[in-house]
């Protein structure tokens, strides 16, 4: 039986408020949890943050006080959902440990989306992006061993490999070249809309996290690395958000947001290994079903259209966190040397790219290179997790 969120009713909105006791969730055990449980938490936090920010933007463009009130009501519940989800993360984890988990999310979420994406242009955008997050994971993992003497495999647990991707220093492109072409909302597969929205939310959360936590570090190399990768996360938000058709109405976008939340909570409920966390996904799904109905009513009222026209006839296959090692190795073998030019991709370092590189690096090695050099100085080797053999690109093997 397939699950159709449009045909389900959830918890009535006026019964969704939680008290302090209900919000006071017990965090996961950082050393013994399923790494993908932590990935699901981080993903849903990003989704809820986007839900809140999107609703605020919509409210700022809304004159009708009654609609403002309706948005405020759903948004407050979403703010509580964000608290209940993100507070599942344990206080004993360091910023860097959570960062490594964020990059594991970026790698395995983007790789899965790339594998499942039906549209070739969108698929290419995800394949391009994932090789960059993959490299960030490797840089942060080396920083982690330097600062905390711990190995990133204690976090990613060999589910995700740690080795160079497209080198971070080449991610600094002219901002113009970060803007992709949008899909056409009238013809695109509804699943593609969900994919784009999920990655926008996820990269936006990563950008926000790095821009706020980076300066908490005192070690110069850590501060600098967060600055560098934080700037790239902004490029990624630009890259993914420009894929979304700007012709979607506000109400259409609201319905897509709520539908995507239903889709992801349902997906994660189906695969969650931690029963306590699974109960959170189930509860939140039942809340989101009502938010979706509210959004659908707003769309009918203001756009005079049926939400069924823009949504999939049934919920797509569940979005799954699982290892993507072979897929990533194929991409490492074939797409390492890509960069963007306008809305497309090229293999040569073109003039605008070179100019940007000169400008930002100022003739020096960037933090992402220095962190590996400093790590090597300290340990006489790099930190990598290559469970499935040598790096596919001989030039990227450890010297």
Partner 1 sequence: MSQLHTPQAGDDRAVDDDVVGLLMRQHGDIRNLFDEVEASQGDARRDAFRRLVRLLAVHETAEEEVVHPFARRATAGGEGVVEDRLAEERAAKEALAALDGMDTDDPQFLPRLKALRTDVQEHARAEERYEFTHIRRSTDTAGLAAMARAVKAAESMAPTRPHPGVRSGAANMALGPVAAVVDRTRDAVRRALGKAD
303 binding partner 1? (CB under 8 A): no
Quote the CA–CA distance of 93 and 113 in Å, as a whole number: 28
Q: Helix, strand or coil for residue 346? A: strand
Q: Which is nearer to partner 1, 169 or 384 (CB)?
A: 384
Name the phi and psi angles at 72, rounded to 5.
-60, -40
Between 66 and 377, whose beta carbon lies closer to partner 1?
377
Applying CB under 8 A, the span of 124-132, 149-157, 174-182, 315-323 interacting with partner 1 comes to 149-157
Q: How many CB atoms lie within 10 A of CB 352?
A: 16
Residues 30-59 touching partner 1, rule: CB under 8 A, are 31
Give the separation between CA 360 and CA 356, rounded to whole angstroms. 6
Beta-bridged to residue 346, according to DSSP, are 339
Q: State yes or no: residue 377 binds partner 1 (CB under 8 A).
A: yes
- Given candidates 270, 309, 360, 379, which one binds partner 1 under the rule CB under 8 A? 379
Beta bridge partners, 339, equal 346
Could you tell me the two tokens for 142?
Answer: 């080396």
Residue closer to partner 1, measured from CB, 97 or 177: 97
Element (H, E) at 340: strand 339-341
- Choice between 48 and 103, CB closer to partner 1: 103
Helix boundaries (H) for the chain: 20-23, 35-60, 65-86, 95-116, 120-148, 153-156, 190-213, 220-241, 250-271, 275-303, 325-334, 351-361, 367-379
Q: Site for partner 1 (CB under 8 A): which residue of 17, 72, 92, 176?
A: 92
Which one of 144-152, 300-308, 356-364, 389-397 is the stretch in contact with partner 1 (CB under 8 A)? 144-152
Q: Does 91 bind partner 1 (CB under 8 A)?
A: yes
Strand pairing partners for 345? 340
Task: Specify the residue, 107 or 283, whose C-beta has the smaller distance to partner 1.
Answer: 107
Q: By CB under 8 A, tell whether 150 contacts partner 1.
A: yes
Nearer to partner 1 by Cβ, of 216 and 349: the residue is 216
The rounded Cα 271 to chain-centroid distance in angstroms is 18
Nearer to partner 1, 73 or 151 (CB): 151
CB 39 within 8 A of CB 268: no
279 is a contact residue toward partner 1 (CB under 8 A): no
Task: Please identify, among the stretches 152-160, 175-183, 340-348, 358-366, the one whose residues bind partner 1 according to the rule CB under 8 A.
Answer: 152-160
Looking at 53-61, 118-126, 141-149, 340-348, which segment touches partner 1 (CB under 8 A)? Answer: 141-149
Inter-residue contact 172 to 348 (CB < 8 Å): no
For partner 1, which is the closer residue by CB, 303 or 374? 374
The least CB distance from residue 378 to partner 1, in Å, is 5
Q: Give me the residue label for tokens 């790698």.
A: 107
Minimum CB separation from partner 1 for residue 216, in Å? 9
Query: Helix, strand, coil proportions of the chain in percent (round to 5)?
Result: 65, 0, 35
Stretch near partner 1 under the rule CB under 8 A, chosen from 86-94, 118-126, 286-294, 305-313: 86-94
With CB under 8 A as the contact rule, the residue among 68, 73, 124, 145 that binds partner 1 is 145
- Interface with partner 1 (CB under 8 A), residue total 25
Interaction residues for partner 1, span 182-221 (CB under 8 A):
218-219
Q: Which is nearer to partner 1, 142 or 324 (CB)?
A: 142
The rounded distance, in Å, linking the Cα atoms of 41 and 164 is: 26
Alpha-carbon distance 93 to 122, whole Å? 35
**What is the C-alpha separation between 370 and 146, in angstroms, rounded?**
12
Smallest gap from Cβ 89 to partner 1, in A, equals: 13
Is 177 an interacting residue with respect to partner 1 (CB under 8 A)? no
- Residue 186 φ then ψ, to 5°: -80, -25
204 and 52 in contact (C-beta within 8 Å)?
no
Task: Check residue 94 for interaction with partner 1 (CB under 8 A).
Answer: yes
- CB of residue 392 to partner 1, shortest distance in Å: 18
Nearest to 61 by CA among 198, 254, 259: 254
When the beta carbons of 29 and 184 are compared against partner 1, the nearer one is 29
Contact present, 134 and 165 (Cβ < 8 Å): yes
- Residue 158 within binding range of partner 1, rule CB under 8 A: yes
Q: Which residue has the tokens 């993360």?
A: 89
- Return residues touching partner 1 (CB under 8 A): 31, 91-92, 94, 145-151, 153-154, 158, 218-219, 377-381, 383-385, 387
């Amino acid at each position: 039986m397939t699950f159709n969120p449009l045909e389900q009713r959830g918890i009535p909105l006026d019964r969704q408020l939680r008290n302090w006791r209900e919000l006071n969730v017990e965090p996961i055990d950082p050393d013994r949890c399923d790494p993908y449980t932590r990935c699901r938490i981080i993903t849903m936090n990003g989704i809820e943050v986007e839900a809140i920010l999107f609703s605020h933007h919509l409210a700022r463009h809304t004159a009708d006080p009654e609609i403002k009130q309706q948005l405020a009501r759903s948004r407050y519940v979403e703010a509580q959902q964000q608290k209940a989800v993100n507070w599942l993360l344990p206080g004993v984890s360091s910023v860097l440990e959570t960062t490594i988990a964020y990059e594991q999310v970026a790698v395995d979420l983007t790789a899965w989306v790339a594998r499942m994406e039906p549209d070739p242009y969108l698929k290419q955008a995800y394949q391009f992006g994932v090789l960059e997050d993959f490299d960030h994971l490797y840089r942060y993992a080396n920083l982690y061993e330097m600062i905390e003497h711990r190995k990133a495999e204690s976090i990613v647990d060999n589910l995700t490999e740690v080795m160079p991707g497209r080198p971070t220093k080449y991610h600094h492109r002219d901002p113009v070249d970060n803007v992709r072409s949008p899909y056409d909302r009238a013809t695109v597969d509804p699943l593609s809309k969900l994919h784009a929205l999920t990655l926008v939310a996820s990269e936006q959360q990563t950008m926000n996290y790095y821009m706020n936590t980076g300066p908490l570090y005192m070690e110069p190399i850590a501060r600098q690395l967060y600055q560098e990768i934080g700037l790239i996360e902004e490029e990624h938000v630009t890259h993914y958000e420009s894929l979304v058709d700007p012709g979607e109405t506000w109400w259409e976008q609201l319905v897509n947001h709520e539908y995507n939340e239903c889709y992801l909570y349902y997906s994660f409920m189906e695969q969650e290994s931690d029963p306590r966390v699974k109960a959170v996904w189930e509860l939140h799904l039942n809340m989101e079903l009502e938010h979706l109905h509210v959004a659908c009513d707003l769309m009918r009222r203001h756009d005079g259209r049926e939400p069924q026209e823009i949504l999939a006839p049934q919920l797509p296959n569940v979005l799954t966190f699982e290892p993507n090692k072979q897929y990533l190795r194929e991409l490492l073998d074939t797409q390492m040397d890509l960069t963007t030019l306008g809305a497309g991709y090229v293999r040569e370092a073109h003039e605008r790219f070179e100019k940007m590189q000169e400008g930002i690096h100022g003739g020096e090695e960037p933090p992402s290179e220095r962190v590996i050099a400093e790590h090597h100085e300290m340990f006489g080797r790099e930190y990598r997790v290559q469970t499935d053999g040598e790096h596919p690109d001989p030039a990227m093997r450890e010297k």
